[in-house]
Structure 1
Amino acid sequence: MASLGYSFLFFYSYFILTLFLLHAPLLVTSSTYRYKVESSSINRTAPTNSTKRHHKWVGPVGYREITVDVNGAGEFLSVQAAVDAVPENNGENVMILISAGYYIEKVTVPASKPYITFQGEGRDVTIIEWHDRACDRGANGQQLRTYRTASVSVFANYFSARNISFKNTAPAPMPGMQGWQAAAFRISGDKAYFAGCGFYGAQDTLCDDAGRHYFKECYIEGSIDFIFGNGRSMYRDCELHSIATRFGSIAAQDRNSPDEKTGFAFLNCRVTGTGPLYVGRAMGQYSRIVYSYTYFDNVVAHGGWDDWDHASNKNKTVFFGVYKCWGPGAAAVQGVSWARELDYESAHKFLAKSFVNGRHWIAPSDA
């Protein structure tokens, strides 16, 4: 009986050992797979020494609020002081809450301070204003020229503004007067968003200088080229209001190469005020301006568009277009042969936030 027991134990041990050896590779593989999955999950949120490439979030981390009140109820009395309090190479969302009031100051947001938002209490009650003109002289004794006249200048990426107005209170010039350009706002950073904002000036109100920008439900007022620059921008549900006395123009776009993706797309906007008014001017050789689903009051000049310099033959290279526009001034917008009446195929790229690559940086609820 003893020898039989020993034989049974021997064969039983051999059987267990065989099973283990047969399944060991599978157990090791499963363990390794689980480790790789867990490591991959860790790599999404924290750096490791792995040489594998992983997609890492590079946006802002954290949130900070700064309050501004011209009457002394906030952390700062001025908007510039609040901007100065944001550290260089800022890496968090900074909400600057600006109470109702007039902030008589010149403000600059440098390129080293991204992710800043100006949040006002309403465009009719929260206002930043200044009064520089192009012929005025700066601290160095030199004339400012147009781009440096802006009451607020933003060079940083990922800037946004909501429910606030920007003004340049310099008097409106008569057509042809030199040195009276006076910008209320200059945006030179990429991926900027504006909602419910007001821009008030006369000649060159809004300097849409460079980068991708999205304007929603904004009010923009001026007389001559009151939106100008080489931005790649969409204006959606905005009112473009002219205060021109003899002659005026809405947009002057400065695209200078057919390879540039810049241009101004106006979607579901309203053109009101006084005229006669050009709706677009060819600031650049390949200027690109498109109006879609836009209402034009009876203020549009005969011909509707201007090629800026009649000796340059820009009318052969610009892209001026209209799509399903309406109102008593709409017929005049189609008044020259080189302003095209677009079909859906040629207009659709100007009808969505993808024109400014907005899917990557504009929340669906904001667009």
Structure 2
Amino acid sequence: MNSVRVSVSQDGAGDFKTIGDAISSIPPNNTRRVIIAIKPGVYREKIFIPRTLPFLTFLGDWSEPPTITGNDTASVSGNDGKPLRTYQSATVAVDANYFVAINMKFENTAPHVIGTRQEQAVAVRISGTKAAFYNCSFYGDQDTLYDHKGLHYFSNCFIQGSVDFIFGSGRSFYENCHLNSIAKKVASLTAQKRSNSSLASGFSFKDSTITGSGLIYLGRAWGDYSRVVFSYTYMDKIVLPQGWNDWGDQRRDSRVYYGEYKCSGPGANLTGRVTWARVLTDEEARPFIGAYYVEGDTWLISP
């Protein structure tokens, strides 16, 4: 399947000056991969990729990744005068399948104000399936990365936030990623929303690093059957000894699946962990420690 390549440059040296214009040029229901090569710069655009535009790649410059930035929050009014809510606050929202981003920086600059409601401010919402992100960074505060639904793969990515900064119902594999907290007090790194035991969703992190400020839980149970696994991951001292949070509902303790496998660092000390966290055996960890967790052998392509 041959690909089509177009370029975006703010100085007019490309095919388009804005990313939005490049996306608008693609005919709906395209069956060939369209690579949008984006030159360095700060693009103040709100990007939406509809389900009718699969096989889209954002390709940035490795040495100087372009930034797509916005500052919408859940409480900001949309064109219809109603609040955007979390779902529509995203700077970049992807509903299409087979989306790929390489060497990109995604940002939502709205600050999280402690004590206020509806300050969710998403940098990226990914709702299509079979999406992959390579060498990308995600900057936000509350609810940075909305890993909404579908099979997703993240490789060598940097993800920064404070409250629930990776959240959603996706089935996702994070490999060699750096998770950086900017929490001021106590917050959760993940809020995974698996809502029943038959759903295949969950977040798996492998060979990753957790650093930053504040004190964080590795996850809180947004869904009753929330599932998150950390393997071979370095955890700095910001990780609370308890490790995990049932969000005030003890009925979840027997339902969630929170696992750790061969992690390291001061935050990986298991002596203070909640009793319902799992220290995985080799056999229990095996399903979670490769891209096969997201069926990657059937759809991942080399970047």
* Residues 1:154 and 2:94 are matched in the alignment: yes
* Residues 1:75 and 2:75 are matched in the alignment: no
Q: CA deviation at 1:172?
A: 2.6
The corresponding residue for 2:198 is: 259
Q: CA deviation at 1:62?
A: 2.5
**Farther-moved stretch of structure 1 (200-209 vs 326-335):** 326-335
- For the residues of structure 1 that align with 2:221 and 2:63, how far apart are their CA atoms? 31
The corresponding residue for 1:326 is: 264
CA contact (8 A) 1:123 1:165 kept: no
Name the SS of the counterpart of 1:355 in structure 2. helix
- For the residues of structure 2 that align with 1:113 and 1:231, how far apart are their CA atoms? 20
Task: Give TM-score scaled by structure 1 length.
Answer: 0.81
Give ranges in structure 1 of 5+ residues lacking alignment: 1-60
The corresponding residue for 2:219 is: 280
RMSD: 1.3
User: CA separation of 1:312/1:147 partners in 2, compared to 1, >3 Å: closer, same or farther?
Assistant: farther
User: CA separation of 1:338/1:138 partners in 2, compared to 1, >3 Å: closer, same or farther?
Assistant: same
The corresponding residue for 2:209 is: 270
Residue type at the aligned position of 1:322: E
The corresponding residue for 2:81 is: 141
Give ranges in structure 2 of 5+ residues lacking alignment: none
5 Å matches for 1:208-227? 208-227=147-166
The corresponding residue for 1:31 is: none
User: CA separation of 1:124/1:180 partners in 2, compared to 1, >3 Å: closer, same or farther?
Assistant: farther
**Farther-moved stretch of structure 1 (118-127 vs 271-280):** 118-127
CA contact (8 A) 1:123 1:164 kept: no
The corresponding residue for 1:356 is: 294
The corresponding residue for 1:192 is: 131
- For the residues of structure 2 that align with 1:141 and 1:115, how far apart are their CA atoms? 33
- For the residues of structure 2 that align with 1:132 and 1:150, how far apart are their CA atoms? 7
User: CA separation of 1:332/1:106 partners in 2, compared to 1, >3 Å: closer, same or farther?
Assistant: farther
* Cα offsets for 1:137-196 (capped at 9, x unmatched): 10001111111100000000000000011000101322x420110000000001001100
User: CA separation of 1:334/1:113 partners in 2, compared to 1, >3 Å: closer, same or farther?
Assistant: farther
Q: CA deviation at 1:125?
A: 3.6
The corresponding residue for 2:246 is: 307
User: CA separation of 1:262/1:63 partners in 2, compared to 1, >3 Å: closer, same or farther?
Assistant: same
Higher RCO (CA 8 Å, separation ≥ 6 residues): 2
Q: CA deviation at 1:332?
A: 5.4
CA contact (8 A) 2:155 2:174 kept: yes
Name the SS of the counterpart of 1:96 in structure 2. strand
Aligned with residue 235 of structure 2, among 289, 296, 319: 296
- For the residues of structure 1 that align with 2:50 and 2:299, how far apart are their CA atoms? 20
The corresponding residue for 2:278 is: 340
- For the residues of structure 2 that align with 1:182 and 1:76, how far apart are their CA atoms? 28
CA contact (8 A) 1:322 1:334 kept: no
User: CA separation of 1:138/1:235 partners in 2, compared to 1, >3 Å: closer, same or farther?
Assistant: same
Name the SS of the counterpart of 1:224 in structure 2. coil
Counting helix residues as a fraction of each chain, which structure ranks higher? 1
Q: CA deviation at 1:80?
A: 1.0
Q: Percent identity?
A: 45
Residue type at the aligned position of 1:100: P
**Farther-moved stretch of structure 1 (335-344 vs 61-70):** 61-70
The corresponding residue for 1:42 is: none
* Residues 1:250 and 2:192 are matched in the alignment: no
Aligned with residue 72 of structure 2, among 129, 132, 151: 132
CA contact (8 A) 2:241 2:269 kept: no
**Farther-moved stretch of structure 1 (134-143 vs 114-123):** 114-123
Stretches (4+) displaced over 2 A: 122-125
Name the SS of the counterpart of 2:7 in structure 1. strand
Q: Which structure has the larger Rg?
A: 1
CA contact (8 A) 1:226 1:250 kept: yes
The corresponding residue for 2:141 is: 202
Q: CA deviation at 1:199?
A: 0.3
- For the residues of structure 2 that align with 1:265 and 1:333, how far apart are their CA atoms? 22
User: CA separation of 1:127/1:172 partners in 2, compared to 1, >3 Å: closer, same or farther?
Assistant: same
CA contact (8 A) 1:303 1:334 kept: yes
The corresponding residue for 1:165 is: 105
